[in-house]
A = this chain, B = another copy of it.
Amino acid sequence: MQRRPFLATLGATAAAFASGARAQEEGGKKLGWALVGLGSLSTHQIAPALAKAKHSRLSAIVTGTPAKAEQWKAKYAIPDSHIYNYETFDKIAENPDVDVIYIVLPNSMHEEFVVRGAKAGKHVFCEKPMANTADECRRMIAAMKQAGKMLGVGYRCQFEPHHRECMRLAREKTFGALKFIEAGFGFQIGDPTQWRLRKNLAGGGALMDVGIYALQACRYIAGEEPVEIAAQETKTDPVKFAEVDETISWSMKFPSGVIASVMTTYGFNGANYFTATCEKGRFGMDPAYSYDGLKGWTSRPEVKIEFPATDHFEVEMDAFSEAILANKPFAPSGEQGLKDLLAIEAIYKSIREGKAVKVEGI
């Protein structure tokens, strides 16, 4: 109910998303999604979301672990012909029941599987961060363009009503011109053996995994791209974080003069927010990036940011399916993913060189 007014203002994706309500009424087609990588995210978030989505359904799986294939086959009634491993993956090209390939692999594998997905002639949806480097992103975008298929990046918050309302408040200057943003996202990471702590697999630490949410929030609240970044890193556990960043804090300038203070960490829980300070008031979210329980707030009691709980994965996948069905552009696209990697590379460069750096190519 509350969605229409602000969705209507949010461009191509929003239009496709809103039109989905009609598609559903008319009994719209459900696109078949193949999940590549059956880790925790696929198991606990994505598969349940596909089971209830309106325009998307689980149609195939790709896994390197035969035992997982058996479990999923039993649970979701997936025919053997729709089960692939990383060697047989390319045969997915011959499967008309797969419209979209969703890459849920460690970051270092994104490029390979997006490119292979493009060559298989499928639309591809890729988890964030899009890749480990901006160059990988560029090659992924080029491959998808050559295949003539759509590429989306899994920035689920962009489809979440509280975040969309905050974008609207910023765009419509409800509290006057935006002046300053603070944002942070972090958590205390557990299992020291996980791929997220391996540089060659994850590309980096907290920044790549969760800092990217705070970075994204700054970008879509500001509605412009950062031009200069000054970053600092701290490491309190040099063993656990031998390969990747533990805590990073950075300051980021936008062309309009807006400045953002942002942080991310794998070292402790609690930071999960953004705050927008405008000429005539403030608004924000805390918690901002969790799968549920999100809370928005504003400095004016009469302006509330309250929406019912949403399954972020369901809405983002349905939005991608609807964009495909309507043949309309999808945001967040690969270009969006690339822009985050350009900023992330600037953050790491600033830390490495101990100086403020320009964000190049953004």
Contacts and interface: CB of A to CB of B under 8 A. Distances in A.
Interface string A267-294: 1111100000111011000000000000
A260 B247 CA distance: 11
21 contacts: A180-B247, A180-B270, A180-B271, A182-B182, A230-B230, A230-B231, A230-B232, A230-B251, A232-B251, A234-B257, A234-B258, A234-B259, A236-B257, A249-B259, A259-B263, A261-B261, A261-B263, A270-B277, A270-B278, A353-B355, A355-B355
A99 interface: no
B268 A251 contact: no
Contacts of A270: 179-180, 277-278, 281-282, 299
A254 to B, nearest CB: 9
Interface string A329-362: 0000000000000000000001001111000000
Which size class do A's interface residues fall under? 35 or more
3 interchain residue pairs of minimum CB distance: A355-B355, A236-B257, A249-B251
Contacts of A263: 180, 182, 259, 261
Given A182-B182, A182-B184, A270-B282, 7 more contacts: A180-B265, A230-B356, A236-B256, A249-B251, A251-B261, A353-B355, A354-B356
Residue from A231, A236, A270 with most neighbouring chain B CB atoms (10 Å): A270
Q: How many copies does the complex hold?
A: 2
A247 B265 CA distance: 25
A198 interface: no
A235 B232 CA distance: 22
Interface string A43-64: 0000000000000000000000
